[in-house]
Structure 1
Amino acid sequence: MAPTLPALLCLGLSVGLRTQVQAGTFPKPIIWAEPSSVVPSGSSVTILCQGPPNTKSFSLNKEGDSAPRNMHPALKPWDKANFFISNVREQQAGRYHCSHFIGVNWSEPSEPLDLLVAGEEPAGRLRDRPSLSVRPGPTVAPRENVTLLCQSGERTDTFLLSKEGAAHRPLRLRSQDQAGRYQAEFSLSPVTSAHGGTYRCYGSLSTDPYLLSQPSEPLVLVVSGLTWYLSVLIGVSVIFVLLLLVLLFFFLHHRGQDRCRKSRAADPGPEDRGPQSSSSPGADAQDQAICEQERRQPVAGHRDFWRQWGGDAEKGGGPGLGTETPHSTPPGAGWWGHRDLWRPWGDAQKGGGLHSIPRDARRGLQP
């Protein structure tokens, strides 16, 4: 019984694998060409085919070709095969598929790969190189609308736009006759940084769709500036930093005010102040300097007020009869306060009368 169980398991796995292959449930292989699927006549190209792990071999087929399958063993890590074609000519142009072999059967063919040969006869009947231009210009900003215009003076059925180094197949558009010139407009709107690169334009005839004309002059498209999500990210970062700075400013300002209040509440009068000791003389000196500066700010405000009042009184525009000032002597005004206070008394002696002196000042002068 014991040896029978492993044999049954292996048989079940083999049957399940064969059923999956026959039902076509294995993933299709992937096919692409390097350096590009558009190949200048006489140059070389490599067609690559990739499938799942543990693939035994791959085959490459060309549509309409009666030749037997071109088979290559899988390369490590056993999931890829390279098909090298040298000196590409008209005979190699066409549509290719690849398949991979796992178990006892072949997988479904891959998606098609069109191998296009440029500058090969009889496509040489298109002797006029197409021209390639861009609107609004070769340097654009992200998310801008861009149009690549391919034109030719000869009859052309289809235009193809190829980007250098791109993995996707060339863009293909039917041509339109515009006043004797054939053209096609390729829209790349809206552009991103991925659209930047070197582009070329080709023409082809419907009778030979895999044979292309000579390429146009290369056009380099530059997408300058940051993409929209990077711009948004930078803007949010700047706002966040500014918000942190504002919060830090208010925090330090509030902290300084709290220190000043505590210092004023704990500071006794000059007559009650005895010898004190401080654990941090530098911090106490800094707090005292900050508090002293805050004390001087309102004093400077009163000083300017009384100075202005005294100057107006000298010019005859001082307070008249019945006008009261809040203080006879501004608190902390010192010499400036007393000097500005007694200026109206001099004006009274010159003929202004006692009533031109503030009421608080008159109380101090009357016997």
Structure 2
Amino acid sequence: MTFTFTALLCLGLTLGLWIPVLTGSLPKPILRVQPDSVVSMGTTVTFICEETIGAKQSYLYRNGNLQRRVPKNNQKPTNKTEFLFLNVGHQNAGQYHCSYKSQGKSSDYSEPLELVVTGAYSKPSLSAQTNPVVTSGGYVTLKCEPSHYGHTLILTVEGPQKLSWRQDPQCNYYTENCHVLFYVGPLTSNQRWIFRCYSYETNTPQVWSAPSEPVEILVSGKLQKPTIKAEPGSVIHSGKAMIIWCQGDLDAEIYFLHKEGSHNTQSTQTLQQPGNKAKLFIRPVTQGHAGDYRCYYYSSAGWSEPSDTLELVVTGIYNYHPLMLSGPPSPVVPEGGNVTLHCTSHRYYDKFILIKEDQKFSSSLDTKYISSTGQHQALFVMGPMTPNYSGTFRCYGYYKHTPQLWSEPSNLLKILITVGEADIIQSSSQWTKDGLSMANFTLSHSTGGQYRCYGAHNLSSEWSASSDPLDILITGQLHHVLFLSVMPNSTVHSGENVTLMCWSTYSVDTFILSKEGSGQPPLRLKSKIQDQQYQSEFSMSGVTSKLSGTYRCYGSHDSSLYLLSFASAPVELIVSGPIRTSDLPPTMSIPPDGLQRYLKALIGVSVAFLLFLFILIFILLRRRHQEKFRKDDEDAQKGKELQLSTGAAEPVTRDRGHQKRSNPAAATQEESLYASVEDMETKDGVELDTWKPPEGDPQGETYAQVEPSRLRRAGAISPVVSREQLNTKYEQAEEGQEVDSQVGPILHRPAGSPSQADTFLSPSPTPGY
């Protein structure tokens, strides 16, 4: 049953399609155009005629005249025919139809399609006559003015709806000025409303002018309103640059900025990072940018509500006479009191405005003329003073009809709020030898806190800018025990990382790390609780030798930041030069944590090597000295043997000439003795000068003068010469006989003396003996 019904239905549909053919009437084709029905000159356009399958030929007409004929391909039957136009011009504009033939019969014409070609004339102007921001369902008035007299005007809306309004202009025949006011609406919040205006001659309605500049009407919808802010601030000097930020929903597609009172809107695309917000860059800022701004955004869900109002003020517009801002004698005022600031100018302004530099406070007053000074003035009374008033103030002048255009700023005036009058100390300055002005402030009792100093002249109430802050910290106020440790070690190499950990078992809110002798302020870190103790880790990366020194840490509570505990035990940090791994053998690798152990081992090996080298040198020198003594002992032994062989009983005399000896044996002994003496003279360079003993010498001792060079040789023993031999020589000298002027060293033993001989040396002994 179901199969029979389906078959009959398909048969009925097939017969329905062929009935017009059998009866002699073909279905009417459909004509479309790509890319659009309104195109600019030079665009490529394609007409598409959709007909019944089986058509033999297709036809395209413009204004009733045949333009193109295309035979169909029987091998590839389709129900579409395309007519391509390259680089269209105003001659291609007009009304188009299409038709086709099948089995010898022609179809009816398609519905008409108008092709509009723009750009034949110069563009008209379009502007919004009312506020370009409307609420959903509202209306707007747009004014279009043609560039050619007598042209008809048409207003279009971009979008799929293809809305348009046509109207002949109202013209002034004397001035030949024409315009049309289009009252458009209602405008909904579910789409964008972008309008353009064209003009054309009446006899060629498809040949239009170039489009006007677009005007987009903003619709205040129901989506969450965005936020708006200005950087660097909403009060900015003329000529500088600024940025206006607008941030809304993450689905926002486009943002709009509107200045109240303006008939134009500005749009900007959203930024993808960070977040979904838009940026409008203004450079340079001019007086035309001053005013109140709001921003909107549009998404697929529609329009948002407007943002809060941003008032943009442009300063530096009037710079004829500078403004002066003065205040109390001291910039430091007690909390809870009132302060009066004076803003004066020689130029007239409707109002003076006092503003804090962070733009969190402002106040405006009407100006008053002071005849005694010839100035315009306003007195700003502020109070009761709170810490929120601390900061820098300026004043400006402006006129009522342009409240966002201000003068050049006055001088800066700084106000500081303190706990009480006791915190204010004044002192007269003194000039130093270096030409500096200096003042000393003595605190009667140590009070922890942050201090600043100011300077001023006696002839002016204007104070200088403050100095850098100075923190006075009082130690020993908390009886907490603190500990300080260093990781990985107190001795590290340059470039390594070091962590100083301060900890305590007592409750401490903040730890302070201080280095002895450092001019830098101490470091502060909030404490953390770990393993049932309070601790903070002060990390130092890539340390250098400048960080070497002694460190201590302290603790404080948030309720009294400048009252500290007693100091921890000192910890000394030593930062040495780095070990270059390039100096090590290629096969030797040292892990980063073993550099210190390697350094200690290297130092130990170096010390041991130096000690071994010193001992070796000492042994060599001692052995050389012993060999020298051994040689001297051998020489002395030879001398003793000579003495024993020759004897010392008879005197020995010797002449340098060839004198004969009466006793040959004695002569031989004498020759041997003198040969030994000459050998010693030649070898050791010893010279002995003999001289007659002085009268009254009962013992008749003989003294010998010995050169020091001989005394340096230890263990040398001289031959013994008797007293009789010496007397014989003295007698010969008195008789005029020649006596040798050089004799060997003399050892004399006086009568009755022990067997060991005593030695007398003259002059004074050689040092060291």
Normalising by the smaller structure, the TM-score range is: 0.3 to 0.5
Q: Which has the larger radius of gyration?
A: 2
Higher relative contact order (CA 8 A, sep 6+): 1
Using structure 2 for the length normalisation, give the TM-score. 0.24
Using structure 1 for the length normalisation, give the TM-score. 0.47
In terms of fraction of residues, the more helix-rich structure is 1
In terms of fraction of residues, the more strand-rich structure is 2
